[in-house]
């Protein structure tokens, strides 16, 4: 194994493999988003990725696996960003605001992901194990923020935390859902501040 060939083979192999894997995954994302998981076909995905149908099966166990890996990968990436965003906040309100901003920003940047999360996540009922964990992480993140807010005194003591976090996540998802229905015509992220304001102050006048 000389200097020139040192690991190059493996590296470029890895790279090609990764590239093709990503290509297929992204194509799948586009096709799933356009037609929905069940109406999407392997042939469509393969064609869009520029590979043969059979090739898909060199990178994924089966059709379900493609969806699973797509969601799994996207979730991980987004969640990492959310975590970082929350950490940037100096108090509970700031953390909440950062979380919501990040959430909306990421979904705005990746509409395919937004559509797929909205429509297909629930299909993975059985497969869900890992994905459920990540959804749980999101809710835990919220729990921490709320609890911190209560300690700081910026949030009410009489909150039912389990309800509040569902309330927050549900509303964000609703807002994203509307944005998707509107074919992403406006700035999703511009909803962040008004939304956080609603969380904090409610609809009632003073």
Any idea how long the chain is? 206
Exposure b/e, 59-72, CB count within 10 A at least 16 = b: bbeebeebbbbbbb
Stretch that binds its own copies, among 18-26, 47-55, 104-112, 167-175 (CB under 8 A): 167-175
The secondary structure of residue 122, as a DSSP letter, is G
- Contact set for DNA, span 60-99 (CB under 7 A): 62-64
Please identify, using beta-carbon distances, which residue of 57 and 199 lies nearer to its own copies. Answer: 199
Longest dimension (CA), the chain: 76
134 binds, options its own copies, DNA, none, Cβ within 5 to 8 A by partner type: none
Residue 90 is a binding residue for its own copies (CB under 8 A)? no
- How far apart, in whole angstroms, are the C-alpha atoms of residue 166 and residue 189? 20
Residue 185 is a binding residue for its own copies (CB under 8 A)? no
Residue 29 is a binding residue for its own copies (CB under 8 A)? no
User: Measured in whole angstroms, how far is the alpha carbon of residue 117 from the centre of its chain?
Assistant: 7
Stretch that binds DNA, among 59-67, 87-95, 145-153, 191-199 (CB under 7 A): 59-67
Candidates 176, 170, 204; CA nearest to 190 is 176
* Least distance between its own copies and beta carbon 153 (Å): 6
Residue 17 is a binding residue for DNA (CB under 7 A)? yes
- Contact set for DNA, span 36-55 (CB under 7 A): 39-43, 51-55
Residue 173 has which token pair?
Answer: 């998802």
Residue 51 has which token pair?
Answer: 């590979």
* Least distance between DNA and beta carbon 18 (Å): 11
């Amino acid at each position: 194994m000389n200097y020139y060939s040192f690991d190059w083979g493996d590296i470029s192999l890895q790279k090609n493999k990764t590239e093709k894997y990503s290509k297929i995954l992204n194509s799948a994302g586009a096709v799933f988003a356009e037609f929905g998981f069940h109406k999407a076909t392997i042939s469509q995905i393969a064609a869009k990725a520029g590979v043969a149908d059979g090739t898909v099966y060199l990178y994924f166990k089966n059709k379900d696996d493609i969806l699973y890996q797509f969601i799994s990968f996207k979730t991980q990436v987004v969640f990492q960003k959310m975590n970082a965003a929350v950490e940037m906040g100096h108090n509970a309100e700031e953390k909440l605001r950062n979380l919501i901003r990040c959430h909306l920003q990421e979904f705005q940047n990746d509409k395919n992901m937004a559509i797929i999360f909205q429509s297909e996540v629930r299909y993975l009922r059985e497969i869900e194990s890992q994905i459920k964990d990540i959804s749980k992480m999101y809710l835990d993140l919220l729990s921490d923020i709320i609890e911190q807010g209560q300690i700081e005194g910026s949030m009410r003591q009489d909150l039912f935390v389990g309800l509040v976090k569902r309330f927050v996540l549900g509303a964000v998802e609703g807002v994203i859902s509307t944005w998707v229905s509107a074919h992403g015509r406006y700035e999703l992220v511009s909803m962040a501040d008004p939304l956080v304001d609603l969380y904090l102050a409610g609809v009632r006048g003073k």
